[in-house]
Structure 1
Amino acid sequence: MHALGPQWMDPQYLLDTYGTAFFFIALAIVFVECGLFFPILPGDTLLFSVGIFIAGGQLHDNLLVALVGLFLAAIAGNVVGYEIGRGVGSPLRNHDGRIVKRAYFDQTEEFFGRYGARALVLGRFVPVVRTYITVVAGIGRMERRHFVTWSAVGAALWVLVVTLAGYFLGNVGFVKDHLELVILGIVVLSVIPMVVEYLRHRRARGMSPEEVREGSADVVEDLGRS
């Protein structure tokens, strides 16, 4: 699986290198991705891999304990991201750096505007939106109880669907024999929604076809490592 990207983004490498500490690393990565401005972290692939590793006996954590731990890490990241957005507000929104990008806020706000509070559930399955949606909710001063409720629903669904998919598919012959290909497929599928949203956003702003193609290539480059 090392062809997928940097070694620290490769679940198999992390498991082989850190052994039983792998699960705690997974919890830390999920926490950071869900609220601390690192949208390139491999949240989806980690959840899927945790399921596969438990099913295959490579990871000896109890499945239920793993699900609860991942859920708590996700919701804790959400709360931290929300409080950062609520506390810092506009200065953070207007920053345009290498990691905290104004374009990511634009895309997330558009997503939020379209789906309202449901975006906290739907956005959980979309890279970048998953990271920035909680910050946007904080900047907009969404009511805390409302935010925590919808975030908890989104976190539970995300963790259950992706981790259990890995758990039940982990012993399927094709998945076991082509794990790198399956993980790569998850990455591609997770990137597609953001590319589509980007293209729609740019076309709505009247960009030329050449600018749209260049922009979508940038999105793929940024998100393809998720």
Structure 2
Amino acid sequence: MEDFNWLQLLNPEFYILLEFGGIKIGLLVVLFIVFAETGLLAGFFLPGDSLLFLAGIYSESLMSQISLGNDFLNVTVFALLVTVMGILGNMAGYWFGARSGNYLYNQKDTFFFKKKYLYQSKEFFEKYGSRAIVFARFLPIVRTFAPVIAGIVSMDKKKFMFFNILGSFLWSFSMIFAGHYLHALFLDKFNIDLKHYIEYIVIGIVGFTTIPVLWKLFKKRVHLE
């Protein structure tokens, strides 16, 4: 840890390759981050989508200690573990929203909490209804507060769980399988190792997932002016 730089915390690869005492703990860290994004309301600065895509690329390393001896099974089990943590995180967010009521709307902004993100998520939830729980999984910031909003407005628990499970499943499997098999495809067909282009991949994914949110905010500001 002598060469540690705080900027590494913004790099998904840092979490994936993390070791403690010579033991790889990347898998545990990835699972914790997936839970924390919604369960601990810490999603606005954690590398969600890019983390899962890169985790798919590094899935062999992440699953090395509990390998099932089959590539497809390893990736599938890994995606299922991420799905479960995503579901639990959303459940924690929903519970917090149901318990807190309008408490969050009366809180001051901190580094870990921005009230504007709560309002943006509320607008998103009102626009898409129950489906927002699925869509939010693919949008930074919104996915952090969507389950909280669902709890605040007392969304039907059964309906919430259905969309929670569906959204977590689609998000986890699409991101992880895309990373894993695109890496294999590029390596096999073009002899290109995507691990050498991690920075570009992260920038591309962050841009792709945040542009819709930024565009919506831009249009809203223009409309108000």
Structure 2 residue 61 is the aligned partner of structure 1 residue 58: yes
> Separation in 1 of the partners of 2:77 and 2:24?
14
Partner of residue 129 from structure 2, selected from 116, 127, 134: 116
Large movers: runs of 4+ above 2 Å: 8-17, 57-61, 174-177, 200-204
Matches within 5 A, 1:28-47: 28-38=32-42, 39-47=44-52
Q: Which runs of 5+ in 1 are unaligned?
A: 208-226
> Separation in 1 of the partners of 2:128 and 2:202?
28
Letter of the 1:107 counterpart: Q
State the 1:174 CA deviation: 5.8
Report the 3-state secondary structure (helix = DSSP H, G, I; strand = E; otherwise coil) of the residue aligned with 1:97: coil
Asked if 1 retains the 8 angstrom alpha-carbon contact of 2:17 and 2:24, the reply is no
Query: RMSD of aligned C-alpha atoms?
Result: 2.0
Q: TM-score of the superposition, structure 2-length normalised?
A: 0.83
Letter of the 1:130 counterpart: R
> Separation in 1 of the partners of 2:87 and 2:172?
11
Asked if 2 retains the 8 angstrom alpha-carbon contact of 1:104 and 1:132, the reply is yes
Asked if 2 retains the 8 angstrom alpha-carbon contact of 1:84 and 1:138, the reply is yes
State the 1:179 CA deviation: 2.0
Residue in 1 that maps onto 2:181: 168
> Separation in 2 of the partners of 1:67 and 1:174?
22
Residue in 2 that maps onto 1:14: 15
Residue in 2 that maps onto 1:194: 213
State the 1:22 CA deviation: 0.2
Provide Cα deviations, 1:72-127, integer angstroms capped at 9, x if missing partner. 11010000000000001111123231232221111111111111111111111010
Provide Cα deviations, 1:183-221, integer angstroms capped at 9, x if missing partner. 2111111111210121233233x23xxxxxxxxxxxxxx
> Separation in 2 of the partners of 1:129 and 1:90?
18
| Matched residue count | 202
Letter of the 1:77 counterpart: G
Partner of residue 78 from structure 1, selected from 90, 106, 118: 90
Structure 2 residue 145 is the aligned partner of structure 1 residue 141: no
Asked if 2 retains the 8 angstrom alpha-carbon contact of 1:35 and 1:134, the reply is no
Residue in 2 that maps onto 1:93: 105
> Separation in 2 of the partners of 1:84 and 1:147?
14
Structure 2 residue 72 is the aligned partner of structure 1 residue 67: no
State the 1:175 CA deviation: 2.4
